[in-house]
């Protein structure tokens, strides 16, 4: 029977089951011993690995302190910015990366090739790390992307905190910008620092952001969060209500706020006044040295720097011949031109070589040895005293005055007293010193003795004499406050994030000069005439119903041959045009604002720089002194206007409206 | 020809003619079913934990229950005919499964870069999974009528190897290295079980030794090669291809003696583990139940396999014996490779853990396999 053979074979095979059982037991033993090795022998270590996997210490970045104006209105703040990011891994897993990318491109209205370029640039990094496709999305773009979220796998909108200058490029040089700590500066920053920096931290790189870094920077907190293998934090609701770890959180401590002495209204007025002109402006309160306004044009937007600047924008900033990155209020020095005549007049009056009755006859030029030195007015000003000479900016008067002085050192002495030739000590770095020439200086510098003719040029603020805009403003401030030279400062106070004043900055006196009352009276009288006398050089800038004073200056940029001196500036190539300078103050009685403006290549002080100062002064007077208006109707209108406009802000502190 | 052709069909129901048989077989015949139910229950329970996190819309465990329901249906269907029906249909089943594999190649569904599924309406099927059982039926049928005293020689193996290599090649193209490997291992187990001529075995071993490096350089896809490299040195790329292996070992090890507790496994719940509901399901279990739980589970599997071996050993014809042995070797290799892979002893290949891993085709295959075992164990008493 065929069955027998089958049975024989099955019996034969039955014998082999003992081997099968052996293999089974062997296999089970191998698995069991591996289990024992992993769970018993290395269990503890593995448990530790698992814990480290699960709980990640995540930094809670501390909000950086704000920069506030004198009425605590934010100037620099931290604002949310929205970026669209792609996670290459998820894009790839979705299997329709191309489709998704072209969808995103059409939503953002950018070429799809741009997005692909950004993705391919990130090829080197792990594919689960996000790649930013576009930063600073508009509200509409965010809305669009969120709407189509479900159809865009691997694409998400992320919020980032962006250091934002609320007024764009206004006062960027003062406020400064922040940036990520670079590997080069890391060790320098952390030297002696208890709160260490990491590479992804931000740090102030210029301006007040840099100078007050330790105040603005908060203390980062930390949080233990559960993360998955991709390092993504797990939302509590996704673990179906179970919280595996109690979130242990060390809260961050926000940075301190800086309350500046800046009045943003004046800043805006200054920008308005400048238009597209190039130059610097600084306004100081003569009574205490507080900086009320300070701008430099052209400028840059620090917001663009805060999250890494685009290389194209950077290159443009660097190559711009108007040097937008330089602070023209403190970092550049210029010949002060006729604005320096104030110092020469002070020197003459204080050294006793002239008095109010001293008159010189201006014929349009004087002879100096075999050379003829011209006044800016060809026909001459006729007989002028010191007041008239300042009002009309008569060069000849000051030439004659210079000739009467013992040496250039008499001018230099008073220039130093008024703060020239030295840094003012404002809180910002890289301030220029300017230059006050003396006989010793020339000997040392050029190895040649001072020639008396050179004093004439110094007397009208030309040749070697160099001053920064801030020095001019501060010198005039010292003149009009009775002779006290304050250190200009930008900070009124530092407050904690919850508004507690932590530190105040009282005025600092640099020097109490021995200026006589009479001198101040005569000089300021001349400065009043500049604006308010029909013959004054800046009479065209007078404000109807409201008086202010100042001095114009026009500075030649290049040596011009005699016959060209009176040629129209506007016909010159832009780079050869004169700089316009104006230094002024207001009100006439008890001045509370001194202002200096340098307008590069603006041709003249009266038409180039004075209108800018006028705009700021006008804004200032309207805001703080409506009662001083001679026309009561105007005053009333301004008061009404102020009431509606300033409702949300506190009124000016008594310190400013009193006196 | 030295082998003889024999009639494999039993003429009548089994007569208990061997002494001691009755006591043995009467209790053991339902043991595989009992253990299957226990293991499936543990599997679903474990899956509830494993999928707790990503399970937002609809529970994967419900899908698993549906699969088990289908498995019960398949079990019932398989239990109706006498197992000799499979012998009769063996070649048809084989051909039909090859047809399904062809369909996968022609219009299969691509998921995660592999083309393994075909859909019928709403149901997706993985024909490569079913091929594991089909090939065992085929081989049982094929070898039933072949008897080579002294073991198989090379020429005896030519034809069956060809029939095995056809589906293996088709599955490798998908690519599904794990399944292809399982089929080869099952084939090898069945050959060894029936005895291979020692000289032939030596030749085969030598050839395999030489072929391995060639296959490694030319036959493997880059990612497969990477898996092998990272198996040898997982730390070579801890966030990349070695990542799964490391995270899985951490999961198993961190379970320690008693485990972290049900639903308290962090490795799986926090997504450190990839595929933790399918191929890496054992890591979820071991993380939460620890060494004690794992040994318990392992013992259950060993009981299941040994009860299956008893069924096989005491079956009354060669086809039934080879068929049940083949099916048991499928289970054994799945168990060994899957657990070995999860514990970092073996390279990562897509092999599910029977009864535990999520996946309809795998469940259906496993339950069908048990059903065939039950059929073999019980057929004499039914009808």
Opening angle at CA A226, ends A221 and A231, nearest 5: 90
CB contact under 8 Å between B254 and A17, yes or no, is: no
- Say which range, A349-353, A525-529, B49-53, has the weakest mean pLDDT: B49-53
| Residues B247, B237: Cα–Cα separation, whole Å | 12
Supply φ then ψ for residue A180, to 5 degrees: -75, 145
Kindly state the percentage of chain A with pLDDT values over 70. 87
State how far residue A178 is from chain B, nearest Cα, in angstroms.
Answer: 34
Among residues A559, A560, A615, the alpha carbon closest in space to that of A582 is found at A615
pLDDT band for position B19 (50/70/90)?
very low
Helix (H/G/I), strand (E/B), else coil: A253: strand
Alpha carbon dihedral B332, B333, B334, B338, in 10-degree steps, equals 110
pLDDT: which is higher, A6 or A378? A378
| Radius of gyration (C-alpha) of chain A in whole angstroms | 36
Judged against a pLDDT cut of 50, whether residue A189 lies above it is answered with: yes
pLDDT in tens, B305-315: 999 998 888 88
CB contact under 8 Å between B252 and A38, yes or no, is: yes
State how far residue A120 is from chain B, nearest Cα, in angstroms.
Answer: 19
Determine contact, residues B362/B124, Cβ cutoff 8 Å. Answer: no
pLDDT band for position B218 (50/70/90)?
confident
Enumerate residues 200 to 259 of chain A having a beta carbon within 8 A of any beta carbon in chain B. Answer: 226-230, 234, 238-240, 242, 244
Among residues A331, A11, A343, the alpha carbon closest in space to that of A174 is found at A331
Mean pLDDT, range A94-110, rounded to an integer: 85
| Residues A561, A565: Cα–Cα separation, whole Å | 6
Residue B148's pLDDT is: 80
pLDDT in tens, A297-308: 999 988 888 777
State how far residue A46 is from chain B, nearest Cα, in angstroms.
Answer: 5
* Strand bridging mode B109-111 / A491-495: unpaired
End-to-end CA distance of chain B: 38
Mean pLDDT, range B226-247, rounded to an integer: 63
Residue A651's pLDDT is: 38
Q: For residue A21, give the nearest of B52, B306, B340 by CB distance.
A: B306
Among left, alpha and beta (phi > 0; psi -120 to 50; other), residue A591 is beta
Among residues A224, A186, A223, the alpha carbon closest in space to that of A202 is found at A186
Residues of chain B in contact with residue A39, where contact means CB-CB under 8 angstroms, are 252-253, 255-257, 286, 290-291, 294
- Say which range, A290-299, B34-43, B235-244, has the weakest mean pLDDT: B235-244
CB contact under 8 Å between B271 and A45, yes or no, is: no
State how far residue A145 is from chain B, nearest Cα, in angstroms.
Answer: 23
CB contact under 8 Å between B147 and A9, yes or no, is: yes
Q: Helices (DSSP H) in A460-574: which residue ranges?
A: 469-480, 517-532
What secondary structure, in 3-state letters, does chain B show?
CCCCCCCCCCCCCCCCCCCCHHHHHHHHCCHHHHHHHHHHHHHHHHHHHHCCCCCCCCCHHHHHHHHHHHHHHHHHHHHCCCCHHHHHHHHHHHHHHHHHHHHHHHHCEEECCEEEEEEECCEEECHHHHHHHHHHHHHHHHHHCCCCCCCECHHHHHHHHHHHHHHHHHHHHCCCHHHHHHHHHHHHHHHHHHCECHHHHHHHHHHHHHHHHHHHHHHCCHHHHHHHHHHHCHHHCCCCCCHHHHHHHHHHHHCCCCCCCCCCCHHHHCCCCCCCCCCCHHHHHHHHHHHHHHHHHHHHHHHHHHHHHHHHHCCCCHHHHHHHHHHHHHHHHHHHHHHHHHCCCCCCCCCCCCCCCCCHHHHHHHHHHHHHHHHHHHCCCCC
- pTM value is 0.59
State how far residue A44 is from chain B, nearest Cα, in angstroms.
Answer: 7
CB contact under 8 Å between B301 and A28, yes or no, is: yes
Residue B186's pLDDT is: 95
Residue A657's pLDDT is: 35
Judged against a pLDDT cut of 70, whether residue B18 lies above it is answered with: no
CB contact under 8 Å between B272 and A6, yes or no, is: no
Residue of A1, A2, A5, A6 to mutate for B, most B C-beta atoms under 10 A: A6
pLDDT in tens, A67-79: 999 999 999 998 8
pLDDT: which is higher, A644 or A499? A499
Residue A121's pLDDT is: 77
Residue A131's pLDDT is: 79
What secondary structure, in 3-state letters, does A343-369 show?
HHHHHHHHCCCCCCCCCEEECCEEEEC
**Residue B294: closest C-alpha in chain A:** A35
Mean pLDDT, range A400-410, rounded to an integer: 92
Q: Contacts for A558-563 with beta carbons within 8 Å, 24 or more apart?
A: A562/A374
CB atoms within 10 A of CB B342: 31
| Radius of gyration (C-alpha) of chain B in whole angstroms | 21
Opening angle at CA B363, ends B360 and B368, nearest 5: 120
Which range of A144-148, B35-39, B230-234 scores highest in mean pLDDT? It is B35-39
State how far residue A90 is from chain B, nearest Cα, in angstroms.
Answer: 12
**Residue B249: closest C-alpha in chain A:** A38
| Residues A273, A294: Cα–Cα separation, whole Å | 13
pLDDT in tens, B349-364: 888 999 999 888 889 9
CB contact under 8 Å between B302 and A25, yes or no, is: yes
| Residues A545, A548: Cα–Cα separation, whole Å | 10
Question: What interface predicted TM-score (ipTM) does this complex get?
Answer: 0.88
| Residues A189, A181: Cα–Cα separation, whole Å | 9
State how far residue B271 is from chain A, nearest Cα, in angstroms.
Answer: 5
For helices B127-144 and B154-173, angle between their N-to-C axes, nearest 10 degrees? 170
Determine contact, residues A340/A461, Cβ cutoff 8 Å. Answer: yes
Helix (H/G/I), strand (E/B), else coil: A74: strand
CB contact under 8 Å between A10 and B252, yes or no, is: no
Any idea what DSSP says for residue A435? B
Kindly state whether A125 is in contact with chain B, defined as any CB-CB distance less than 8 angstroms. Answer: no
Where are the strands (E) in A440-508, listed by range?
Answer: 467-468, 484-486, 491-495, 501-504
The distance of Cα A546 from the centroid of its chain, to the nearest Å, equals 32
Judged against a pLDDT cut of 60, whether residue A56 lies above it is answered with: no
Residues of chain B in contact with residue A45, where contact means CB-CB under 8 angstroms, are 253
Q: For residue A39, give the nearest of B11, B110, B256 by CB distance.
A: B256
**Residue B57: closest C-alpha in chain A:** A238
pLDDT in tens, A582-597: 999 999 989 999 999 9
The distance of Cα A129 from the centroid of its chain, to the nearest Å, equals 34
Kindly state whether A29 is in contact with chain B, defined as any CB-CB distance less than 8 angstroms. Answer: no
State how far residue B63 is from chain A, nearest Cα, in angstroms.
Answer: 20
Judged against a pLDDT cut of 70, whether residue A518 lies above it is answered with: yes
Determine contact, residues A589/A621, Cβ cutoff 8 Å. Answer: no
CB contact under 8 Å between A47 and B335, yes or no, is: no
CB contact under 8 Å between B309 and A32, yes or no, is: no
Judged against a pLDDT cut of 70, whether residue A485 lies above it is answered with: yes
Among residues A364, A482, A468, the alpha carbon closest in space to that of A420 is found at A468
Residues of chain A in contact with residue B10, where contact means CB-CB under 8 angstroms, are 3
| Residues B138, B160: Cα–Cα separation, whole Å | 9
CB atoms within 10 A of CB B195: 17
**Cβ contacts of residue B37 below 8 Å, gap of 6+?**
none
CB contact under 8 Å between A40 and B255, yes or no, is: no
Residue A493's pLDDT is: 93
| Per-residue tokens: B123 | 């149901």
Residues of chain A in contact with residue B243, where contact means CB-CB under 8 angstroms, are 229
**A-B contacts (CB, under 8 Å):** 165
Supply φ then ψ for residue A174, to 5 degrees: -75, -50
Judged against a pLDDT cut of 80, whether residue A57 lies above it is answered with: no
CB atoms within 10 A of CB B262: 14
């Amino acid at each position: 029977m065929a069955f027998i053979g089958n049975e024989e074979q099955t019996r034969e095979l039955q014998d082999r089951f003992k081997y099968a059982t052996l293999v089974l037991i062997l296999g089970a033993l191998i698995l069991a011993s591996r289990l024992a090795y992993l769970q018993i022998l290395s269990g503890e270590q593995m448990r530790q690995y698992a814990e480290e996997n699960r709980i990640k210490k995540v930094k809670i970045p501390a909000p950086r302190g704000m920069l506030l104006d004198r009425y605590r209105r934010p100037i620099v703040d931290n604002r949310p910015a929205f970026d669209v990011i792609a996670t290459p891994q998820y894009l790839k897993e979705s299997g329709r990366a191309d489709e998704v990318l072209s969808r995103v491109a059409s939503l953002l209205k950018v070429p799809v090739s741009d997005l692909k370029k950004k993705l391919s640039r990130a090829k080197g990094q792990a594919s689960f790390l996000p790649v930013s496709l576009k930063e600073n999305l508009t509200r509409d773009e965010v809305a669009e992307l969120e709407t189509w979220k479900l159809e865009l796998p691997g694409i998400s909108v992320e919020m980032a905190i962006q250091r934002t200058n609320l007024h764009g490029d206004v006062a960027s040089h003062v406020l400064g910008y922040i940036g990520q700590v670079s590997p080069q500066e890391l060790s320098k920053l952390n030297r002696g620092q208890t709160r260490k920096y990491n590479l992804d931290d931000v740090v102030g790189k210029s301006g007040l952001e840099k100078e007050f870094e330790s105040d603005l920077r908060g203390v980062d907190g930390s949080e233990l969060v559960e993360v998955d293998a991709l390092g993504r934090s797990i939302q509590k609701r996704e673990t179906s209500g179970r919280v595996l770890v109690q979130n242990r959180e060390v809260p961050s401590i926000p940075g301190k706020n800086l309350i500046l002495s800046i009045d943003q209204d004046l800043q805006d007025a200054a920008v308005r006044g400048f238009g597209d002109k190039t130059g610097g402006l600084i306004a100081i309160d003569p009574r205490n040295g507080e900086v009320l306004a300070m701008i430099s044009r052209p400028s840059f937007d620090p917001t663009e720097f805060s999250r890494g600047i685009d290389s194209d924008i950077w290159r443009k900033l660097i190559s711009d011949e108007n040097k937008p990155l330089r602070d023209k209020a403190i970092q550049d020095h210029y010949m002060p031109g006729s604005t320096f005549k104030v110092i020469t007049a002070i020197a003459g009056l204080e050294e006793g070589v002239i008095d109010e009755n001293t008159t010189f006859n201006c014929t349009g030029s004087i002879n100096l040895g075999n050379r003829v030195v011209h006044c800016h007015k060809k026909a001459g000003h006729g007989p002028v005293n010191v007041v008239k000479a300042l009002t009309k900016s008569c060069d000849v008067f000051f030439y004659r005055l210079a000739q009467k002085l013992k040496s250039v050192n008499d001018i230099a002495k008073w220039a130093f007293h008024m703060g020239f030739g030295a840094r003012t000590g404002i809180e910002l770095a890289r301030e220029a010193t300017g230059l006050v020439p003396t006989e010793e200086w020339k000997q040392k510098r050029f190895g040649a003795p001072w020639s008396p003719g050179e004093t004439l040029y110094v007397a009208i603020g030309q040749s070697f004499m160099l001053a920064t805009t801030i020095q001019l403003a501060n010198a005039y401030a010292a003149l009009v406050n009775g002779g006290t030279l304050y250190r200009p400062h930008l900070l009124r106070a530092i407050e904690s994030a919850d508004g507690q004043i932590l530190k105040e900055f009282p005025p600092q006196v640099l020097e109490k000069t021995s200026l006589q009352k009479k001198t101040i009276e005569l000089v300021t009288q001349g400065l009043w005439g500049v604006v308010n006398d029909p013959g004054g050089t800046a009479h065209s800038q007078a404000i109807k119903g409201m008086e202010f004073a100042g001095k114009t200056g026009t500075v030649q940029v290049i040596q011009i041959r005699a016959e060209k001196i009176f040629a129209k500036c506007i016909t010159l190539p832009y780079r050869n045009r004169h700089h316009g300078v104006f230094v002024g103050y207001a009100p006439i009685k008890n001045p509370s604002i001194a202002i200096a403006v340098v307008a590069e290549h603006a041709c003249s002080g009266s038409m180039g720089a004075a209108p800018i100062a006028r705009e700021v002064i006008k804004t200032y007077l309207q805001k703080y002194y409506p009662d001083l208006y001679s026309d009561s109707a105007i005053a009333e209108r301004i008061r009404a206007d102020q009431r509606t406009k300033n409702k949300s802000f506190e009124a000016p502190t008594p310190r400013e409206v009193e006196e | 020809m030295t082998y003889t052709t024999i009639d494999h069909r039993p003429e009548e129901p089994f007569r208990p003619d061997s002494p001691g048989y009755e006591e043995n077989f009467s209790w053991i015949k339902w043991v595989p079913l009992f253990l299957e139910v226990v293991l499936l229950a543990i599997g679903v329970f474990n899956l509830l934990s494993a999928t707790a996190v990503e399970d937002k819309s609809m529970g994967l465990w419900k899908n698993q229950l549906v699969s088990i329901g289908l498995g019960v249906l398949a079990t019932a269907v398989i239990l109706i005919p006498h197992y000799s029906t499979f012998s009769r249909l063996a070649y048809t089943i084989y051909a039909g499964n090859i047809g399904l594999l062809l369909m996968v190649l022609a219009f299969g569904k691509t998921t995660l870069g592999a083309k393994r599924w075909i859909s019928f309406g709403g149901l997706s099927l993985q024909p490569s999974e079913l091929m594991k059982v089909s090939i065992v039926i085929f081989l049982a049928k094929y070898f039933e009528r072949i008897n080579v005293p002294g073991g198989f020689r090379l020429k005896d193996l030519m034809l069956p190897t060809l029939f095995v290599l056809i589906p293996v090649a088709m599955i490798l193209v998908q690519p599904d290295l794990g399944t292809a490997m399982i089929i080869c291992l099952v084939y090898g187990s069945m050959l060894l079980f029936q005895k291979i001529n020692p000289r032939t075995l030596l030749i085969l071993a030598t050839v395999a030794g030489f072929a391995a490096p060639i296959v490694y350089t030319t036959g493997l896809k880059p990612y497969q090669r990477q898996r092998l490299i990272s198996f040898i040195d997982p730390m070579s790329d801890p966030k990349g291809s070695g990542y799964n292996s490391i995270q899985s070992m951490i999961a198993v090890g961190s379970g320690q003696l008693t485990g972290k507790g049900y639903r308290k496994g962090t490795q799986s719940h926090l997504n450190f583990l990839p595929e933790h509901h399918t191929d890496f399901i054992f890591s979820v279990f071991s993380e939460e139940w620890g060494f004690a739980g794992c040994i318990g589970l392992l013992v259950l599997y060993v009981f299941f396999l040994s009860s299956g071996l008893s069924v096989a050993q005491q079956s009354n014809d060669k086809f039934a014996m080879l068929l049940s042995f083949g099916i048991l070797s499928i289970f054994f290799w799945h168990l060994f490779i899957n657990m070995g892979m999860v514990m970092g002893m073996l390279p990562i290949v897509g092999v599910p853990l029977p009864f535990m891993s999520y996946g309809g085709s795998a469940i259906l295959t496993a339950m069908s396999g048990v059903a065939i075992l039950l059929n073999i164990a019980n057929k004499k008493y039914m009808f």
